[in-house]
Structure 1
Amino acid sequence: MSVYRPAKSPFWHFDFQIKGYRFSGSTGCESESDARAAEAEEKDRARELVAGWLAARRGPLTLQRACERWWDEHGQNLADLKIKSALDRIVEIIGGKTLLQDIIDDTVANLVAERRKDRRRDRTIVENGRARILYRQITPSTVNRTLDLLRRVMRRAKENWNAILPSEPTWKKHRLKQKKRPVRELLPSEERRLDETEGFDFAELRQFAIITGLRRQNLLLKWPQVNFELGTISVVTKGDEPRIIPLSRESYAILWRRRGHHPEYVFTYKAQRTWKNRTRKGRKLGDLVKGQRYPITATGFASNKKRKWEKAGVTARIHDLRHTTGMRTLRATGNLRIVQELLGHSTIAITSEFYTGATVDDVRAAMERTAEAQQRQRELLEQHQPKRSEKESGN
């Protein structure tokens, strides 16, 4: 029997397969006979859909095929270096041969449960002359990003590839609660320590990041993106949105100084030693020649941060440079709209989520004004209070 009534539902449900495609859901009927008639109509519609797929010579879409196609069409063009490994982990947990149409709420719940068990490398410590790697559990936000990635793959399959997903999961109910982390701003004293520790090239890249508020993937500019005549740079930001960003005097000067260093890339560094046959995880990187300039890569930026920032005693993240831009701009202007425009947020709600209208300095000033008002009130009370006689005062 392909129609059934769940224990806690007043309605009969259907569940059937046609040539490898599974269809299930509620008939909306309270009687079995009406449910069977509704199921027959669902089967007719399903046969038409499956016939269209087969006519187009498309077989049932597996998770492995969907992830590979999403990566080829879209994912590889994104700047997030962790997306590919996250896709591989999704396939590993769910199974590459799982049909996309068979991924339901139970599948997603298991994905979240397994992902929560994963650990990531935290730091390396030295004990008794031996290095030991410490690991920590991944955060709820990382689990949620994995969930969002699977949703993006399935939505693209449904909207761009005409995939049939009759029982798409309810994504919202699987998301974990995230702790809201306070915005971390780089302090002037920390910047001074970094200036003393970092090399000139990486220090200028850091300064440029704080001035412009660009995300890490947009910082590594190429010369065609720079327009000295108009004093602007052009970038494609998160969500594939093109933006034109004006340059301040200081940011303009930083870019102007870098002319002639490299024919293609703006931010480069000078090799401190000759290094032949470089490899990273089995991949050849090419040789380095001492004194010659090479582009700063995302990996190189992160590696410099790990070595130099730790040496300077700065525990901030690279993304905190962007937070520094937002907080300093809000403090200087008091205008949340300007912060939104500078950081390229799509809505003011996103900006206000991180950068509230009241900064620490605003709160401190309000506290001082409150204390001053209280002091004035006490002084007024003392002026209008009748003076006691010496006898009353006990003298």
Structure 2
Amino acid sequence: MISKMKLEMLPNELLLDLFEYFDCIYLLRSFFGYNNRFNHLIYIYLQTHQLNLEFISKDNFDLISQKYLSSLTHHIISLRLSNEQTPNLSNLLFSSNFTIDKFFYLQSLYLHYIPSLDILIEITYYCKNLIYLTDLTIIKCNINEKLKNCINLFHNIWNIPKLSYCNLDGIELKCFSLLFMSKISLTIKKLFIENISCDLSYLFCILNCTPNLEQLSTTIYSYSTNTNLDAIIQSMKSLKIYYQGSIDSLKTILSQMPNLTHLKIGTLDLIMDGNVWKQILNEYLSKIEIFQLKMKLEFEGNDTDVEKSVNQLLDSFNTRFWIEEHRWYVRCDWELSEITTYAFLYTLPYAFKTIYYLNECNTRSTCDDEEKYRSYKCVEMFENSYRKSMLLHNFNLV
């Protein structure tokens, strides 16, 4: 093994290159405190690398917190906390007198597998003092609380002074409202709340609380036809939604986002043919550049009736508007059944994380050269009626 004395002979640039091959915790244990030069190099390293405590053992955490962390808090710009491998890690951090605001120059905070709402509220409360924090991610936390217990968490998050990227996909709420929110964030531009279900009025509460939003990902259920909305979101450029509801409600949503350039939408039990989509895109979304669609459909009738319905649906997407003007191709997969036929129509290439596998699949596409569009690289999970789901890790679909 190369000794530290021999490593000292290397120039700083080469040492920093070598640091790329080591885990941050290993670097701290091996080199921090050796001399001022190595300390300074680790400070430089932390300016571009995350302090990842996700897989740290309790023994290592105790060592890091007692020996190194007090000297590093003003040099760490990205921090990842997780209770998955080390239970109560976040509590251990606080009990060591390292509240999150001690990391004064923190720009990015990643919270993973922290199943306690109280801990999340405490962490985000101190974030209001972090004037450089721009990115917050909360995932796999399995927070499924009543709304009244969650409102403090959202108050805290919306109160972070410079927050622009906010990923809250780790929070699950069946019904969400910011009606009681007193804080408006002018800085949040990207908001991801895929597991928080909204109706139309709740959606526009979110938009009113984040008026400069540019990118939104959420789930919407709305069959309302009487909601009056007057908050046009000029800043919105990208929208990803899972939608179940009426066509009128969907039109209401999209009509408030005239500058949208990217729409990614999955619908359930909503049959909209190419003519309806064309009318929506032309009337409300004239600036659209990327359109990604997945519709889960149900057809009734015998095999002949179903095939006729599918052909009519696909023909409506096989027009000059879809093929020549935009090159937006679609495919429909369906599985014939004696009672109800399930079908999936989606744009090519496939752009969604989950794909439903039909055991005896019929398929038809509007694309003549499918080899150019036969890509399923976004898929992470299979679902079918026999096996609910199957995750794909490091598995390439061609």
Q: Which TM-score band applies after superposition, normalised by the shorter structure?
A: under 0.3
More strand by share: 2
More helix by share: 1
For the pair shown, which has the larger CA radius of gyration, 1 or 2? Answer: 1
TM-score (norm 2): 0.22
TM-score (norm 1): 0.22
